[in-house]
Amino acid sequence: MLDIGVTLGNFAAALQGDRSALKVRVAGEPLKLAFDGAIATRPTLKIEGATSIDSLSLRQAIAWMGKKPLPGGGFERFSLKAQTNVLGGTIALSQVNLELDGNTAEGVLTFVVDGRQTLQGTLAADALDLTSYLSTVRLLAAPDREWSRTPIDLDGLTTADLDLRLSAAKIMIGTAQLGRTAIATNLRAGKLGITVGEARGFGGVIRGNINLAKAEQGAAFASQIVFDNVNLERCIGELFGIKRIDAKGSLTFALEGTGQSVYALTRTLEGEATLTANKGALTGLNVEQLLRRLERRPLSGGSEFRSGRTPFETLSVQVKIAKGNATVEAVDLRGQTVQLALEGEASIPARDLDLKGVATLVSASADRKAFELPFVVQGRWDDPVMLPDAQILIQRSGAAAPLLEALRRHNREERNETAPAAIPTLPALTSEPVAPTAATAPLATKEAGAQTTPGATTIEPTAPTLPLPAVTTAPAAKVE
């Protein structure tokens, strides 16, 4: 229920359309309004004066007026004070002081009510907290950190058109904080475009645009963003939930896709991305420590190399994306002691990796050959597993290499037989002594203290093995 009061300073002049003083008071649950000024209706409607509006919930007030609800969260406590000039179907507000959800901004606004409703304006603020407006946007679903399957609702984008320019000295979005920022927002016929002219964030500069619109497949998304000289650990951590690169660098990407949810959208993504960094480190992985251990003892290892850091001087990544699958065309890491080269694929919907590459331990001596180790990287984005090439390690092991050669000879002999015999199972490479079998007798070790048969090879116990594939199923068993 609303209480409405209207006072005219010159009732007779107002009846004739001439200028007259006007006071309006509206009080009720959805909002309160006060206007002090003047009105004239000849030759056209003209109103000018001071306006103030207050509402405990702008969202509820808009719904009370019969408009579609606004998308996302926020739009609660609202206050507006401005000088108002109404001419025809245009409402112009100057000297605007706007408060919304604890944010305060000043500037000018224009609201066109003829035909399609359009809000235009320019606002400036010292600090803005946009967390509440994005509170319903969930890229990742906790606790499994999978892409959200919640349907994307864009019905609120058709409420009105918008052309708003916003600048702020500081913007907060959840745990992320941006410095000086200039944004232009354009909403027309349900198509939202956000252009970031410049934003100081993650220790660098952000530029680009984001476009969102309603489509038959749900939501149509397109974006081109450049993160220049930013803290990559913070930046990539906020965007994708991955914190593996501790360095300053640049990240650029151009993406587009459609879908009913974030998960569905990731399955249609097309585009490309590049990353460059200098003088940093990969975290959660100590490649140098692993390579030095495997160079000395190829069949030794443990899980401790999955902690620590791998320093680098330069890092570059190039990725092409088609139908949600990212083809990693090149990953090149160069450090003073380690070099890495990677390629392969990554599934964006499944958030997993399937990469292969070569790690090189750079030798300090020019006469010494660099130690190279092929490897694969598999598993989840946020917890990948690096597995060295089993065949290379076996070949480099003085104890296990004869076993591999024996298995190769057995395979060659087997192919020459009409009825091939079953391939004997070789014992796992562990720290326990290998028991002699018919197939491995020439290679077996005598008990401690006994003499070795002339020509035979001695297998000495090794340290606990890396989590590598068993020798009996390794691809190397089929190599001639």
| 53, two tokens | 């509006």
Give the containing element (helix H, strand E) for 398.
none
pLDDT score at 443? 39
Tell me the three state secondary structure of residue 13: helix
Q: What is the DSSP track for 73-119?
A: S---SEEEEEEEEEETTEEEEEEEEEEETTEEEEEEEEEE-SSS-EE
Please list the ranges in the chain whose pLDDT falls under 50: 302-304, 418-480
Domain limits of the chain?
278-393
pLDDT score at 426? 39
Residues 198/205, Cβ–Cβ less than 8 Å: yes
C-alpha to C-alpha distances, 259 to 71, 159, 232, 281, 392, nearest whole angstrom = 18, 22, 28, 36, 44
pTM for this model (two decimals)? 0.74
pLDDT score at 469? 40
For the purposes of burial, counting CB atoms within 10 Å of the CB of 340, is it exposed (0-12), middle (13-18) or buried (19 or more)? buried
The string of pLDDT tens digits covering residues 224-235 is 999 999 999 999
C-alpha to C-alpha distances, 410 to 388, 393, 397, 438, 474, nearest whole angstrom = 25, 20, 20, 12, 15
The string of pLDDT tens digits covering residues 251-284 is 999 999 999 999 999 999 999 999 999 999 999 8
pLDDT score at 195? 96
The one-letter amino acid at 445: T
Q: What is the DSSP track for 420-468?
A: PPPPPPPPP-SSSPPPP-TTTGGGPPPPTTPPPPTT-------SPPPSP
pLDDT score at 472? 40
pLDDT score at 24? 97
21 CB contacts (<8 Å, ≥6 apart)? Answer: 7, 8, 9, 10, 37, 38
Residues 217/258, Cβ–Cβ less than 8 Å: yes
Length of the chain: 480
Q: Which residues pair with 387 in a beta bridge?
A: 376
280 CB contacts (<8 Å, ≥6 apart)? Answer: 232, 245, 246, 247, 248, 249, 311, 312, 315
